[in-house]
Copies of this chain bind each other. A is one copy, B any other.
Amino acid sequence: MDLNLFEIFDVLGTVAFAISGALAAMNRRLDLFGIFIIAFVTAIGGGTLRDILIGNTPVIWMKNLEYIYIISFTTLLAIIFRNKINYLKKSLFLFDTIGLGVFTITGVETGIQNDLAPIISVALGAMTGTFGGVIRDILCNEIPVIFRKEIYATACLIGAYAYIVLYNIGLDQDLIYLITSLIVISIRLLVVKYKISLPSFYLNNSRNT
């Protein structure tokens, strides 16, 4: 295999999201099948939604089998080393952030390649980056975490917007990848470090959860 920068990032992102899904499933005490399914949908959910919405079917993981192999192998490792991984939360967090950055880029790029408007490409980027986690949370019967905690998706949106700007400037593609990823990753790291969060807006009569 002769991987370029983008493909390396893509693999890292898929791995990180698969681990995050497997951990969520084990945390909910699902069985072996449930763990694999949740790991799988977390890793490919965003890309699948993107492909369905723009009509790029059969969806990507049906055409590139690498995704299935990578996710299966990662999930197996996650199960075996499940209690070790808790000590690795920082590296997991980093992988997850890389995944967010990379998947945002693939989404934006798909939008551009399909001649969609910039705002739609940005939306596709954010969806590809975050939707896997949304499905994971729905399947685990929880309110999707991205709606409640930290500026996860906002990092995505800013990165996607930066991609569009840099693309229109005409920068070299590898450079765009690198800069955009770094933007998403930096924002997320800063946000978590300084506990920045988006405002909520309560209704006077809203219930306490």
Contact A25 to B147, CB < 8 A, known contacts A139-B138, A198-B31, A201-B79: yes
Contact A68 to B203, CB < 8 A, known contacts A31-B148, A144-B139, A147-B33: no
Chain A interface category by residue count: 35 or more
Q: Does A15 contact B (CB under 8 A)?
A: no
**Closest CB in chain B relative to A69 CB, distance in Å:** 9
Chain A stretch 172-208: residues in CB contact (< 8 A) with chain B = 197-207
A35-71 CB mask vs B (1 if < 8 Å, else 0) is 1011000000000100011110111011001001000
In the assembled complex, the Cα of A155 lies from the Cα of B98 at a distance in Å of 36
Contact B53 A201 (CB under 8 A): no
Contact B206 A33 (CB under 8 A): no
A residues adjacent to B (C-beta < 8 A) = 23, 25-35, 37-38, 48, 52-55, 57-59, 61-62, 65, 68, 79, 82-83, 86, 114, 116-117, 119-120, 123, 134, 138-144, 146-149, 151, 153-154, 197-207, 209
Closest A-B pairs by Cβ, 4 of them = A55-B57, A34-B147, A31-B198, A32-B198
